[in-house]
Homo-oligomer: A and B are copies of this chain.
Amino acid sequence: MDNHFTNAQRAEVLTTALPYIKKYSGKIVVVKYGGNAMVNEQLKQQVMEDITLLWLIGVKVVLVHGGGPEINDLMKKVGKVPQFVDGLRVTDKETVDIVQMVLAGKVNKDLVKLIQSKGGHAVGLSGIDGGILEAEVKNEALGYVGRITKVRTKPIEDLLENHYIPVISTVASDHSGNSYNINGDTAAAVIAGALGAERLIMMTDIAGILEDKDDPSTLIPRITVSEAKKLYDKGVISGGMIPKVDCCIEALDKGVGVVVIMDGRVPHSILMELLTEEDTGTMVMKG
């Protein structure tokens, strides 16, 4: 596959990664996995290779995932017609059961298998296990869409301690035994914050925050929270980007070092982001 590189070239590449490996060794990096990188089979394989490589060189990677398209697939199969209120899915009891099954039973375990086939050691948990995520109803009209009320990172930290890659699906529960569908970006932000992660990587299907959203050359490589807030007012950050940047800001507030909005469509974007000089996407920092 890469026989066009000489061993000397490979060695050269490896040694240039040295300062980056040093920087993240023993640190917690939370990856919010989603979008195109979850659908495209080749990208999926590459992300799991990247995750496994990072784990092998000593980074404590936590993978947080949703599972959009597969939920829709199963809903269709069982003949459920999705309903929406203000663009948000109405999640009745039957729907939340489907969400739980698909996220915790299908996507989660498939990711665990994929990482294991790359040589990594992974264990999949949902937000229900060990009470990782407790939630309550966010909006009566939406049903079992949850607002997180409590986060317990002990089960995740135990897995990191025992040298596993935790793979977390974003369903939560309450004390009455209800399950809730949780927004993936929010769950990743809250978990990363509670873990005091060094870095939170938000995989998306865009290049990052753009000055002109139609022109990729206007990518803003680094931005502080206060600068971001100004971009809200100027309308540069708008639409679906608003809740995503809100999550970044929440994660930084809760103690995450740096958040990166990363283009998940680029092959090996995680490795490039962490182990090479060139940043990808938009880095959001405190300040």
Contact = CB atoms under 8 A, between A and B. Distances in A.
Interface of A: 1-2, 5, 7-19, 21-22, 25, 46, 49-50, 52-53, 56-58, 74, 77-79, 97, 100-106, 108-110, 112-114, 116-119, 121-126, 128-131, 154-155, 158-159, 162, 164, 171, 173, 175-177, 179, 266-268, 271-272, 275-276, 278, 280
Contact of A113 (B14, B74, B128, B155): B128
Nearest to A169: B105
A121 B113 contact: no
A130 B119 contact: no
Nearest to A131: B116
Copies in the complex: 6
Interface centre among A18, A74, A100, by most B CB within 10 Å? A18
15 contacts: A5-B13, A7-B272, A8-B268, A11-B268, A14-B275, A15-B271, A56-B58, A100-B105, A100-B106, A105-B105, A109-B179, A116-B173, A116-B175, A125-B125, A155-B164
A160 to B, nearest CB: 11
Contacts of A271: 10-11, 14-15
Contact of A109 (B74, B112, B126, B175): B126
Given A21-B53, A101-B105, A171-B109, A15 B268 contact: yes
Given A18-B56, A25-B56, A164-B130, A276 B10 contact: yes
